[in-house]
Structure 1
Amino acid sequence: MDRPTVEAYDKGARAYADDWHAQPTPTDLHDLIRRFFHRASTADIGCGSGREVAWLNAHGCPAIGYDASPGLLAEARRRYPELQFAAAALPQLDGVARDAFDNVLCETVIMHLPPDEIAAAVRALVSLLKPNGVLYLSWRVTRDAGQRDNSGRLYAAFDSAHVRDALQGMTMLLDEEVVSASSGKVIHRLVARRPASS
């Protein structure tokens, strides 16, 4: 992960968590999870303060949350002490079991990576899936050139074709650019299924 971005999340972990939990419920995301995910083991990569990990666990998708920010993980554990969270960072995802999950959720995370790390990060997400597993992947769309916000968080600009190329061999179930019901930002989201044998 981009180090200044992780540091920004660490420094402002409580404020970011409060903001995310105050946002409208991401009903569009939840509808897609209900539509595409198996009711089975799930990894939330870039789980932030744990909001979606809690929702997944409450809706039949037992989930573990992973994040690169110690500050956000502390917020997640404070808010949801009964749930499981662990440290892991894209693109490597060291310490996360491969071929172990029926579903992987990665909601608006990869735009915080330098563009030359995005393909490797997508391949790492795919590697977590069991055969026939489903990946939900989204990112906030930045046009033309990457930028940083006032806190120093990176929002990389990259061609969505790089993501699709890294998903070669997967079955694409959804590919769309929309306005997020929760954040109000333009996001690109993909849902893809790993082959039953690969």
Structure 2
Amino acid sequence: MDEQTIETYSANAGRFAAEWRDQPPPADMYALLQRYFTPGGTTADIGCGAGRDVAWLNEHGFPAVGYDAAEGLLAQARADFPSLIFERAELPALDGIASNVYDNVLCETVVMHLPPDQVTQACARLFDMLKPKGTLYLSWRVAASGSSRDAAGRLYAAFDAAKAREGLRDAEYLLDAESVNESSGKRVHRLIVRRR
């Protein structure tokens, strides 16, 4: 992950958590998760932030663990959702997470915080976490022009979707499309794939 982005999220965790709470819920994403994820299946949220989606997953029959690289966000998630599990893990390697252990993996608008040359490796590692027949939901914010940083210092990398697909070579594609995220109002690319 981009270190400046991690530091920004950690140092401003409370502000980001409040911002995400104040956004409309991502009903479009939740509908896709209910359609494609295995009900009752073990679930990981990679880049879980302050835990909003981990809470939703657990409430809707997808027993989930949240992982994030920013210690400040993990502390916020643990404070807001003390009954849920949150652990530290950083893309692209995700050290400490075994292979072939999850039925469902969610990675919502995280990989654009990676340097572009790490995107393929990160996608392959996310796919590696899945059990056979497991499902990965992956999305990223589509950069309007080149890679840039926002006012807070977060990296928003520009990369072709082919970089993500390269890491998902043996996947069965269930969805591959761009749309406007109902929660953030930003344009995102979504891939939903299943391990054969």
TM-score where L is the length of structure 1? 0.97
Shift of 1:22: 0.9
The one-letter amino acid paired with 1:109 is V
Q: Which residue of 2 aligns with 1:11?
A: 11
CA distance in 1, matches of 2:151, 2:86: 28
Shift of 1:165: 1.7
Indicate yes or no: 2:165 matched with 1:156: no
The one-letter amino acid paired with 1:30 is Y
The one-letter amino acid paired with 2:15 is A
Q: Number of paired residues?
A: 195
Between 1:142-151 and 1:61-70, the stretch displaced more is 142-151
Q: Give the superposed CA RMSD.
A: 0.6
SS in 1 for 2:175: strand
Question: Residues 87-102 of structure 1: matches in 2 within 5 Å?
Answer: 87-102=88-103
Q: Which residue of 2 aligns with 1:65?
A: 66
The one-letter amino acid paired with 1:161 is A
Unaligned runs of 5+ in 1: none
Q: Which residue of 2 aligns with 1:37?
A: 37
SS in 2 for 1:173: strand
CA distance in 1, matches of 2:56, 2:23: 15
Q: Which residue of 2 aligns with 1:129?
A: 130
SS in 2 for 1:99: coil
Shift of 1:143: 2.9
The one-letter amino acid paired with 1:102 is D
CA distance in 2, matches of 1:59, 1:75: 22
Identity %: 55
Question: Residues 107-126 of structure 1: matches in 2 within 5 Å?
Answer: 107-126=108-127
Q: Which residue of 1 aligns with 2:189?
A: 188
Shift of 1:15: 0.2
Shift of 1:144: 3.1
Question: Residues 160-171 of structure 1: matches in 2 within 5 Å?
Answer: 160-171=161-172
SS in 1 for 2:25: coil
Shift of 1:44: 0.2
Task: Give CA deviations for 1:122-152 in whole Å, capped at 9, x if unaligned.
Answer: 0010110000000000000003310001111
CA distance in 2, matches of 1:25, 1:143: 24
The one-letter amino acid paired with 2:134 is G
The one-letter amino acid paired with 2:14 is R
TM-score where L is the length of structure 2? 0.98
SS in 2 for 1:9: helix
The one-letter amino acid paired with 1:126 is F
Unaligned runs of 5+ in 2: none
SS in 1 for 2:104: strand
Shift of 1:11: 1.1
CA distance in 2, matches of 1:144, 1:20: 25
